[in-house]
C-alpha cells in the first residue's frame, strides 16, 4: 500500500495538520487558542517535541525541529516524528494530512513526509482481514513554499522503490523463487523505462558460472542471473556504475544446514538483489543522467540428493577453483561469478550489497552497514556522506592483505571460508579476488531484516540501501 505525497498550497480543507517549528522559536503558535497555547508551552517545558491538539473535529500536530542538532541527526528525528504521526493518524482513522511550514524548513518537511510514508507501510496480502487492518492514512499534502514538484517526484520514486524492496524481502520462497524474483525485477525495470535481461539455467551453464550452479545443485528450481541497465543519452559517465546484489531467495545453509532458529528469517537473503533492483528502477523513474547497471544472481540454497557438499572443489566463472568447506557460505560463491562477469563492462565502480555474514550483524547490529572498499577512496567518502544523509550509516572495515591468509587452500586456489574471527572481512577478501576495478562491498546482514518494528523502518524487510544509493547517484548527477 502506498501513500500519496503531493504539493498543495491550500490546506484549509484538511482537518489534520502538522505545523513545523524551529526548537528555539518562541513566537506565537499559528491558529491556536490561548488555552491551547498554554498547553503547548507546558508540553514544551517538559521537552516534548511533538505535541498533539485533538480538537475532535480536527487534529493538529506541532513538531519542534531539533535545529541545534547536526543536519543528519536533525533530519532523522524528523523522519521518526513522521512515523509517530502516521501511527497516531491511523489510530484516529485520519485519511489526509497537511504538512505546513516556512521555506527554511523544506528539507525537514521532506524528511517528515518520508518518515510518514515509509512508516505507513504494511504487508497484508496474505491476511483475510487485510481490509480491516489497512491503515487509514492515504494522502500527505506538503504546504511549503520552497519545495519544488521535481523534489516531490524524487521522494515518491525513492519511497515507492524502498517499499517495493520490502515487499520482495517479505515474500517467502514458496511465493517467490529465483525465476519469480527475476520476473518481478525485470517487469519493474521495464516499466521504469530501463532494460532487463534474464539469463536462464542453460545460459548460466554455457557461461560456466560454477559458483551459482553449485549453490543451485540442491534446488529443484533453476537459478537466474538478471542484468538491468539504465543508460540515458545524457549520462554524465561513459563507463557504467555496476550494482551487484545477492539473490539467495532462501538460505537453509545447504548441507552445512543452519540450526532451525537461524533459518527463520532466511527469506531475507535476497535483500541485496531486491535493493539494487529497486534503486536502479528508482534512478530510471527519476531519469537521473547516470549510466548504471545491476547484476542479480539468484537461487535458493538447500540440501538435497545432489546438493554440493563440504570438500567439493568447484570452478568459478573466471576459472578460479574453490574448495567449499561450508555450504552456508554460499553468498560469496554466487557473487564471485557476478563480480567476475562485471569485468567485461569495464565498470567505473562496482558496489556489492549482500546479507553476507552473521559476523557483520554481530559486529554492529541492525544500526549500520558493514562496508569495505578497494581503490575507491573518493567514491567511498561520497557514499559514506550519503549514508549520513539518509541515516543508513556505513562502518568501514579494513581490507588488509593479512586477512587473505585465512582463505588459502592446499588443493584449490581458494577456500570459501576463513577462520572464526573477522568473518565479515574474510568474506570481503574472498569477493575482492574476483574484482579488478574500484570496488565497494556492503554487508547488510544486520539491518536488512528486523524482527521488531523500528520506527519508519517498519518490521521485516527494511528496504535498506535504496535511499542510500539514490542519494549517492543523485549527488553524482548534479
Ligand atoms: N545468509 C547468511 C548470512 C546472514 C546471517 C544473513 C544472519 C542475515 C542474517 C550467509 O549465507 C551465511 O550463512 N554466512 C555464514 C558464513 C560462514 C559459514 C562462514 C555465517 O555468517 O555464519
Ligand atoms: Zn549461508
Ligand atoms: Zn546466505
Substitution site in 249, 356, 460 for ligand 1 pocket (most atoms within 8 Å of beta carbon): 356
How far does residue 121's CA lie from ligand 3's centre (Å)?
26
Kindly give the number of the ligand 1 atom that is closest to the alpha carbon of 360.
21
Sign of the dihedral defined by the CA atoms of residues 200, 449, 375, 239, in that order? positive
Kindly give the number of the ligand 1 atom that is closest to the alpha carbon of 427.
19
How far does residue 132's CA lie from ligand 2's centre (Å)?
38
The torsion of the CA quartet 187, 188, 194, 195, rounded to 10 degrees, works out to -30
Quote the pLDDT of residue 2: 85
Quote the pLDDT of residue 1: 57
Quote the pLDDT of residue 247: 99
Rg (CA), the chain: 24
Structure pTM? 0.98
The domain locations on the chain are 4-147, 157-476
115 contacts 77 by C-beta, under 8 angstroms: no
pLDDT block averages, 10 residues each, the chain of length 478: 87 90 81 91 94 93 96 98 98 96 97 98 98 97 96 98 98 98 98 98 98 98 99 98 99 98 98 99 98 99 97 98 98 99 98 99 98 98 98 98 98 97 98 99 98 97 98 95
DSSP one-letter string for 110-137: HHHHHHHHHHT----TT-TTHHHHS-S-
- Cα distances (Å, whole numbers) of residue 3 to 38, 76, 95, 156, 456: 34, 20, 10, 9, 13
Quote the pLDDT of residue 30: 81
The per-residue pLDDT for range 64-90, each reduced to its tens digit, is 999 999 999 999 999 999 999 999 999
Strand order in the sheet with 16-22: 4-7, 139-143, 96-100, 16-22, 59-65, 50-54
Whether 133 is a known active-site residue: answer: no
Identify the active-site residue in 134, 195, 231, 258: 258
Kindly give the number of the ligand 1 atom that is closest to the alpha carbon of 355.
6
Ligand found nearest the CA of 249:
3
Substitution site in 211, 273, 328, 353 for ligand 1 pocket (most atoms within 8 Å of beta carbon): 328
Q: Under CATH, which number does the domain 4-147 receive? A: 3.40.220.10
Residues 232 and 290: their CA atoms lie apart, in Å, by 7
Residues 6+ apart with CB under 8 A from 301: 215, 218, 219, 248, 250, 251, 252, 253, 254, 269, 327, 328, 330
How far does residue 246's CA lie from ligand 3's centre (Å)?
8
Assigned architecture for domain 157-476: 3-Layer(aba) Sandwich (3.40)
How far does residue 182's CA lie from ligand 2's centre (Å)?
20
The torsion of the CA quartet 433, 298, 373, 376, rounded to 10 degrees, works out to 100
Residues 288 and 425: their CA atoms lie apart, in Å, by 33
Residues 123 and 228: their CA atoms lie apart, in Å, by 26
Identify the active-site residue in 302, 332, 457, 467: 332
The per-residue pLDDT for range 137-192, each reduced to its tens digit, is 999 999 999 999 999 999 999 999 999 999 999 999 999 999 999 999 999 999 99
Quote the pLDDT of residue 283: 98
In this structure, the residues whose C-beta lies within 6 A of any atom of ligand 1 are: 251, 269, 326, 328-331, 355-359, 361, 417, 423, 445
Ligand found nearest the CA of 252:
2
Question: Beta strand 59-65 with 96-100: parallel, antiparallel or unpaired?
Answer: unpaired
Q: Which of 293, 288, 348 is CA-nearest to residue 471?
A: 288
Whether 201 is a known active-site residue: answer: no
Neighbours of ion ligand 3 (CB under 5 A): 248, 251, 269, 331
Ligand found nearest the CA of 357:
1
How far does residue 358's CA lie from ligand 1's centre (Å)?
5
Give the chain's largest Cα–Cα span: 82
Kindly give the number of the ligand 1 atom that is closest to the alpha carbon of 417.
19
Ligand found nearest the CA of 326:
1
Neighbours of ion ligand 2 (CB under 5 A): 251, 328, 330
The per-residue pLDDT for range 209-245, each reduced to its tens digit, is 999 999 999 999 999 999 999 999 999 999 999 999 9
Quote the pLDDT of residue 10: 81
How far does residue 420's CA lie from ligand 2's centre (Å)?
15
Residues 182 and 146: their CA atoms lie apart, in Å, by 40
Kindly give the number of the ligand 1 atom that is closest to the alpha carbon of 357.
21
Residues 6+ apart with CB under 8 A from 25: 64
How far does residue 366's CA lie from ligand 1's centre (Å)?
15
Residues 6+ apart with CB under 8 A from 87: 119
Amino acid at each position: 500500500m502506498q501513500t500519496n505525497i503531493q504539493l498543495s498550497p491550500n490546506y484549509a480543507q484538511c482537518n489534520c495538520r502538522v505545523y513545523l517549528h524551529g526548537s528555539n522559536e518562541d513566537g506565537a503558535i499559528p491558529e491556536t487558542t490561548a488555552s491551547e497555547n498554554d498547553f503547548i508551552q507546558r508540553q514544551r517545558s517538559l521537552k516534548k517535541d511533538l505535541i498533539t491538539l485533538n480538537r475532535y473535529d480536527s487534529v493538529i500536530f506541532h513538531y519542534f525541529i531539533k535545529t541545534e542538532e547536526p543536519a543528519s541527526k536533525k533530519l532523522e528525528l524528523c523522519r521518526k516524528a513522521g512515523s509517530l504521526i502516521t501511527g497516531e493518524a491511523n489510530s484516529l482513522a485520519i485519511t489526509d494530512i497537511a504538512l505546513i511550514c516556512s521555506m527554511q524548513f523544506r528539507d525537514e518537511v521532506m524528511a517528515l513526509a518520508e518518515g510518514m510514508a515509509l512508516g505507513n507501510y504494511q504487508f497484508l496480502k496474505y491476511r483475510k482481514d487485510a481490509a480491516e487492518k489497512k491503515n487509514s492514512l492515504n494522502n500527505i499534502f506538503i504546504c511549503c513554499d520552497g519545495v519544488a514538484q521535481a523534489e516531490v517526484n524524487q521522494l515518491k520514486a525513492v519511497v515507492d522503490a524502498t517499499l517495493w524492496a520490502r515487499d520482495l524481502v517479505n515474500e517467502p520462497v514458496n511465493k517467490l523463487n529465483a525465476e519469480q524474483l527475476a520476473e518481478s525485477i525485470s517487469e519493474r525495470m521495464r516499466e521504469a523505462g530501463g532494460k532487463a535481461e534474464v539469463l536462464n539455467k542453460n545460459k548460466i551453464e554455457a557461461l560456466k558460472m560454477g559458483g551459482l550452479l553449485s549453490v543451485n545443485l540442491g534446488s529443484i528450481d533453476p537459478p537466474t542471473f538478471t542484468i538491468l541497465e539504465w543508460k540515458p543519452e545524457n549520462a554524465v559517465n561513459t563507463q557504467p556504475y555496476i550494482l551487484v546484489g545477492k539473490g539467495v531467495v532462501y538460505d537453509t545453509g545447504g548441507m552445512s544446514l543452519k540450526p532451525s532458529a537461524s533459518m527463520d528469517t532466511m527469506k531475507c537473503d535476497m535483500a541485496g538483489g531486491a535493493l539494487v533492483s529497486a534503486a536502479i528502477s528508482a534512478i530510471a523513474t527519476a531519469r537521473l543522467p547516470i549510466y548504471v547497471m545491476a547484476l542479480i544472481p539468484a537461487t535458493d540454497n538447500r540440501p538435497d540428493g545432489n546438493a554440493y557438499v563440504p570438500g567439493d572443489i568447484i570452478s568459478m566463472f573466471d576459472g578460479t577453483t574453490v574448495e567449499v568447506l561450508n555450504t552456508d557460505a554460499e553468498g560469496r560463491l554466487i557473487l564471485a561469478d557476478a563480480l567476475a562477469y562485471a569485468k567485461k563492462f569495464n565498470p567505473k565502480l562496482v558496489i556489492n550489497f549482500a546479507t553476507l555474514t552473521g559476523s557483520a550483524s554481530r559486529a554492529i547490529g541492525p544500526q549500520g552497514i558493514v562496508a569495505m572498499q578497494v581503490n575507491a577512496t573518493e567514491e567511498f567518502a561520497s557514499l559514506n556522506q550519503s549514508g549520513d544523509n539518509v541515516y543508513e550509516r556505513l562502518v568501514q572495515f579494513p581490507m588488509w592483505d593479512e586477512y587473505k591468509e585465512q582463505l588459502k587452500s592446499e588443493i584449490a586456489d581458494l577456500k570459501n571460508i576463513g577462520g572464526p574471527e573477522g568473518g565479515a572481512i574474510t568474506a570481503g577478501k574472498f569477493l575482492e579476488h574476483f574484482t579488478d576495478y574500484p570496488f565497494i562491498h556492503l554487508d547488510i546482514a544486520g539491518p536488512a531484516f528486523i524482527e521488531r518494528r523500528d520506527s519508519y523502518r517498519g518490521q521485516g524487510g527494511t528496504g535498506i540501501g535504496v535511499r542510500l544509493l539514490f542519494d549517492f547517484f543523485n549527488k553524482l548527477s548534479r
